[in-house]
Amino acid sequence: MGFTRAELESFRDAEVPDLLPPPGTPLRLLFVGINPGLWTAATQTHFAHPGNRFYPALLRAGIIEKPIDPAAGMTETDRAALRDRGIGITNLVRRATAKASELTATELREGGAALEALVRDRRPHVVAVAGITAYRTAFGRPRAVLGEQPDGFEGALLWVVPNPSGLNAHETVESLALAYAAPARAAGVIE
């Protein structure tokens, strides 16, 4: 599936619903993106751009057991496989943009507050925020580094992991898989 630039632009500011297990079902690991890209908004599937390495990294880490090709839109079977493992996906900012750099610091801080509320409500065991710069801005932690954060997050363990976007050129599927495996292990999703 492909989109023209005009088609993608028509999804600017659209929202993508969270992918979460049903209320009352354990949420073991919550991945947090920065915000939906236009391709993600068009397909209503998190991390959907064909150049994004999120799902290949999850597969390589053993977090998912079969490939997911979200570029055409995730299937209900794919969504159920994530939910059944106690995995959820949300974003700091809900509105879609072509690049995360289009977001304001205020939007990121407001998104951080909304994430705090979600985590208090759903009580995941582990939260993994994908994007160090957005994390620093959203939570006022300019010196934060990648990896497990010492103070946790609203009762959950907290990791900041690299952004899987193809624009993050110094990461590979292998390096992302290593980074994503640590919070997945802590959540009991993998051994």
For residue range 95-146, list pLDDT tens digits in order. Answer: 999 999 999 999 999 999 999 999 999 999 999 999 999 999 999 999 999 9
Residue 88: closest CA among 146, 28, 178, 132: 28
Task: Identify whether the C-beta of residue 47 lies closer than 8 Å to the C-beta of residue 55.
Answer: yes
Cα distance between residue 30 and residue 118, in whole Å: 10
Q: Indicate the pLDDT class of residue 1, thresholds 50, 70 and 90.
A: low
Cα distance between residue 20 and residue 80, in whole Å: 10
Cα distance between residue 35 and residue 49, in whole Å: 13
Does the pTM exceed 0.85? Answer: yes
Cα distance between residue 179 and residue 8, in whole Å: 30
For residue range 167-186, list pLDDT tens digits in order. Answer: 888 899 999 999 999 999 99
Hey, what domains does the chain have and what are their CATH numbers?
5-187 (3.40.470.10)
Concatenated DSSP letters of 74-139: --HHHHHHHHHTTEEEEESS-B-BSSGGGS-HHHHHHHHHHHHHHHHHH--SEEEEE-HHHHHHHH
